[in-house]
């Protein structure tokens, strides 16, 4: 196949190969020692002379992932970097060991420190983290545990890092998230992903497409495939992780039974064995229609339109008929049907995709009451470009650069959500509220929404792509709890233009975020405090985020400060720093709990 014109076209088309070590394959595939395998699905996998895959494509040659391997003469090749193409065309990067956190310990005063070895440090780490010694030994090699001649110990924790590739290459890479350091030359476990909410949509399935592909390469010719376990320090089992894993691997318990409850038990999730599923998901791109179709077996699982300003896929409905934002994909009589709430887009099936069954109607349908998520914008749906919609995630620096305004908001909103649930007095006061105003929490709106009872919520937003995404989350929450009849109680308005009127209305609860640009502007702080005092009913609560200088303006406006806390001291930010220890917030960022007597 090396002289097949399609093969040469795939290797030389823009975007297929970008890593320098792979470029010789595009010049002379055979001379570079390349070979290609076409699977029964039509998908192509390209291998180098070391039998490691460097490129995978769909049957028409659209790239799925590219790998860069080290060239070694005395051991197995190691994965240096990988690029993964997402359903909507964006590329993300994966770099093994891309994130390394180091801890320094002074053991010089510990009796007998000169006799300490790597296992002694592992035992200390196991006790400190309250995890089994075996897990520490699995993730920390001897090179990660070093004691110098002065008794100073260095413990390094390596993680694999995901990156947003702004120009499809690592030349402009932005850190997104991380996961347990995989053994890419011999995949032997399923990893824990951290900062998963920062992953661009589709990153998880694209990463597991690569993991399953390499796993199959490594287990080819084996009498029994290697069973995998979910491992991490610690693990974070979830329904989402279970669904992702189950697409590519099949869960088993050695003694039989339902593996889901065992997996969801953090102390027992490692007991579940994962073996390769017989029909992992496979992706097909249709460039003319800007579609990506994901098929498992003979069933369409998902369709993504790269030019869709909603930034959402169409998915196979759940058994109860639910599909996020009521965007469903079905197949009838050789036609792919993409169901919007108000229209259906028809796409003919392609023979390239293989045999596809018609959709079996779900056992029950979701009773839809009211409008779709767009209705919360009161007929003023903000214009959002498709790329902005798909990429509306929070990107955190992996060094000590200051965290941005949007990225800082979840630390406050998630903390307040927990605080209100855990403090009976706060819970009762919020529970009695009838009207809520939320201003400036564009990246964390849903954590501020109170959905336990019907109440009016007015949301002022500044970043349309994030507000749109939060509106979609809201619709899904209400739909899954059969409370879509409450959707008319929520209204999203642009802060510029609608803010003044919103603050002239009386509200029981306020969530207000001061823009960073106003921190050094006393007149803006004074005006913001006055507006809060005007909008807050007597006895109401205002959760206000701003600088220390805002304190006197709040008091002058007639507000009583019940509590003020530096955001950097919140447990939500402390949790973030367990992943990124050098993380740094804007200096002087404070959370105020205020009331009006």
pTM of the model: 0.94
Q: What is the pLDDT of residues 506-554, one digit of tens each?
A: 999 999 999 999 999 999 999 999 999 999 999 999 999 999 999 999 9
Spell out the residues 6+ positions from residue 515 whose beta carbon is closer than 8 angstroms to its own: 405, 440, 462
- Compute the Cα dihedral for 564, 567, 573, 577 and give only its sign: negative
65/97 same-domain check: no
Strand partners of residue 344: 339
C-beta separation of 391 from 201 below 8 A: no
Angstrom distance (rounded) from CA 77 to CA 576: 34
567 falls within a domain: yes
Residues pairing with 304 in the sheet: 292
Specify if 508 maps to a domain.
yes
- Same-domain check for residues 150 and 237: yes
Structural domain ending residue among the three candidates 43, 75, 107: 75
Establish if 266 belongs to a structural domain.
yes
d(CA 355, CA 353): 7
Q: Is 13 exposed, middle or buried (0-12, 13-18, 19+ CB in 10 A)?
A: middle
> From the CB of residue 596, how many other CB atoms can be counted at a distance below 10 Å?
19
**Cα separation, 439 vs 462, whole angstroms:** 9
Instruction: Tell me which of 278, 312, 330 is where a domain ends.
Output: 278
With 0-12 / 13-18 / 19 or more C-beta atoms within 10 angstroms meaning exposed / middle / buried, residue 448 is buried
201 and 122 in one domain? yes
Burial 116-154 (b: 16+ CB within 10 A, else e): bebebbbebbbeeeebeeebbbbbbeeebbebeeeeebe
Please indicate, yes or no, whether residues 422 and 488 belong to a single structural domain of this protein: yes
- 165: nearest Cα among 9, 15, 385: 15
Which pLDDT value is given to residue 131? 86
Of 93, 90, 92, 89, the residue nearest 80 (C-alpha): 93
Residue 241, C-beta contacts closer than 8 angstroms, at least 6 positions apart? 193, 230
Residue finishing a domain among 41, 56, 75: 75
Q: Are residues 417 and 351 in the same domain?
A: no
What pLDDT does residue 363 have? 62
Report how many domains make up the chain: 4
The total of other beta-carbon atoms located within 10 Å of residue 494's CB is: 15
Residue 362, CA distances (Å) to 134, 240, 318, 371, 475 in order: 45, 21, 7, 22, 20
Nearest to 594 by CA among 541, 547, 551, 537: 541
Residue 377 belongs to some domain of the structure = no
Please tell me whether residue 273 adopts helix, strand or coil conformation.
Answer: strand
Radius of gyration of the chain (CA): 27
Nearest to 215 by CA among 204, 202, 225: 225
pLDDT of residue 276: 98
343 and 466 share one domain? no
Q: Is residue 374 in a domain?
A: no
Please tell me the distance from the alpha carbon of residue 455 to that of residue 431, in angstroms, as a whole number: 10
* Residues in contact with 552: Cβ distance below 8 Å, sequence separation at least 6, in sequence order: none
| Residues 178 and 195: beta-carbon distance below 8 Å | yes
Same-domain pairing of 260 and 286: no
CATH label of the domain that carries residue 591: 3.40.50.150
Q: Is there a domain that residue 203 lies in?
A: yes
Q: Are residues 238 and 252 in the same domain?
A: yes
Backbone angles phi, psi at 550, to 5 degrees: -75, -15
Whether 20 is in a domain gets the answer: yes
Q: What is the 3-state secondary structure (H, E, C) of 356-373?
A: CCCCCCCCCCCCCCCCCH
**Strand-pair partners of 162:** 94, 177
Per the CB < 8 A criterion, the answer to whether 108 and 152 are in contact is yes
List the structure tokens of 568: 């950097």
- Calpha distance 162→175 (Å, rounded): 6
The answer on 108 and 29 residing in a single domain is no
The DSSP call for residue 318 is: P
Total residue length of the chain: 597
CB neighbourhood size of 489 (10 A): 17
Task: Count Cβ atoms below 10 Å from residue 454 Cβ, excluding itself.
Answer: 11
* SS3 labels along 413-464: HHHHHHHHHHCHHHHHHHHCCCEEEEECCCCCHHHHCCCCCCCEEEEEECCH
Residues 499 and 409 in one domain: yes
Please work out, in degrees rounded to the nearest 5, the angle formed at the alpha carbon of residue 11 by the alpha carbons of 97 and 289. Answer: 95
Distance CA 476, CA 325 (A): 6
Q: Are 345 and 327 in contact (CB under 8 A)?
A: no
Query: Is there a single domain that holds both residue 137 and residue 186?
Result: yes
- Measured CA to CA, the distance from residue 138 to residue 527 in angstroms comes to 56
Split the chain (597 residues) into runs of 10 and give each run's mean pLDDT.
Answer: 80 95 95 95 96 97 98 80 98 98 91 92 87 91 92 93 97 97 96 96 98 97 95 93 97 96 95 97 97 98 97 94 94 94 92 93 58 90 97 97 98 97 94 96 94 94 97 96 93 95 97 97 97 96 97 96 97 97 97 94
Does any domain span residue 373? no
Provide the domain limits for residue 390. 385-596
Looking at the fold, whether 31 and 83 belong to one and the same domain comes out as no
């Amino acid at each position: 196949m090396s002289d097949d014109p399609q093969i040469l076209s795939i290797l030389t088309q823009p975007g297929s190969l970008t890593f320098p070590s792979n470029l010789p394959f595009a010049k002379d595939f055979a001379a570079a020692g390349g070979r290609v395998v076409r699977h029964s699905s039509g998908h192509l996998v390209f291998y180098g002379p070391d039998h490691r895959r460097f490129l995978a494509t769909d049957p028409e040659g659209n790239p799925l992932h590219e790998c860069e391997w080290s060239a070694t003469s005395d051991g197995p090749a190691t994965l240096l970097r990988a690029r993964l193409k997402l359903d909507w065309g964006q590329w993300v990067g994966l770099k093994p060991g891309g994130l390394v956190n180091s801890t320094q310990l002074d053991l010089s005063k510990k009796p007998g420190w000169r006799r300490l070895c790597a296992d002694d440090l592992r035992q200390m780490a196991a006790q400190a983290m309250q995890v089994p010694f075996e897990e520490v030994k699995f993730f920390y090699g001897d090179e990660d545990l070093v004691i110098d001649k002065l008794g100073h110990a260095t413990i390094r924790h390596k993680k694999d890092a995901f990156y947003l590739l702004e120009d499809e290459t690592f030349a402009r890479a932005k850190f997104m998230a991380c996961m347990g350091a995989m053994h890419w030359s011999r995949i032997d476990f399923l990893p824990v992903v951290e900062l998963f909410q920062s992953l661009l949509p589709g990153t998880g399935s694209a990463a597991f497409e690569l993991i399953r592909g390499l796993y199959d390469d490594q287990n080819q010719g084996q009498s029994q495939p290697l069973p995998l376990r979910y491992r991490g320090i610690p693990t974070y089992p979830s329904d989402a992780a279970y669904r992702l894993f189950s697409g590519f691997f099949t869960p088993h318990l050695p003694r039989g039974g339902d593996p889901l409850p065992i997996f969801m038990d953090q102390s027992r999730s490692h007991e579940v064995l994962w073996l390769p599923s017989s029909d992992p998901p496979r992706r097909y791109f249709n460039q003319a229609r800007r579609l990506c179709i994901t098929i498992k077996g003979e069933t369409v699982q998902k369709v993504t339109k790269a030019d869709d300003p909603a930034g959402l896929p169409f998915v196979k409905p759940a058994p109860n008929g639910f599909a996020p934002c009521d965007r469903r994909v079905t197949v009838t009589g050789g036609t792919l049907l993409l169901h919007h709430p108000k229209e259906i887009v028809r796409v003919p099936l392609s023979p390239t995709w293989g045999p596809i069954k018609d959709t079996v109607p779900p056992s029950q349908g979701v009773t839809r009451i009211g409008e779709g998520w767009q209705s919360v914008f009161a007929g003023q749906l903000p214009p959002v470009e498709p790329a902005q919609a798909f990429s509306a995630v929070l990107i955190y620096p992996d060094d000590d650069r200051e965290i941005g305004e949007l990225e800082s908001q979840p630390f406050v909103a998630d903390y307040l959500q927990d605080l209100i649930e855990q403090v009976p007095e706060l819970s009762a006061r919020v529970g009695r509220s009838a009207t809520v105003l939320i201003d400036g929490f564009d990246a964390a709106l849903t954590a501020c929404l109170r959905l336990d009872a019907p109440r009016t919520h007015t949301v002022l937003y500044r970043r349309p792509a994030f507000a749109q995404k939060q509106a979609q989350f809201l619709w899904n929450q209400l739909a899954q709890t059969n409370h879509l009849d409450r959707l008319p109680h929520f209204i999203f308005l642009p802060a510029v233009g609608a803010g003044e009127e919103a603050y002239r209305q009386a509200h029981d609860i306020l969530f207000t975020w001061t823009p960073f640009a106003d921190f050094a502007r006393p007149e803006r702080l004074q005006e913001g405090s006055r507006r809060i005092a005007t909008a807050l009913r007597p006895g109401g609560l205002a959760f206000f985020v701003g600088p220390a200088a805002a304190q006197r303006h709040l008091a002058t406006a007639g507000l009583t400060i019940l509590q003020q806390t530096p955001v950097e001291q919140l447990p939500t930010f402390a949790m973030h720093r367990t992943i990124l220890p050098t993380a740094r917030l804007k200096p002087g960022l404070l959370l105020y709990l205020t009331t009006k007597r």
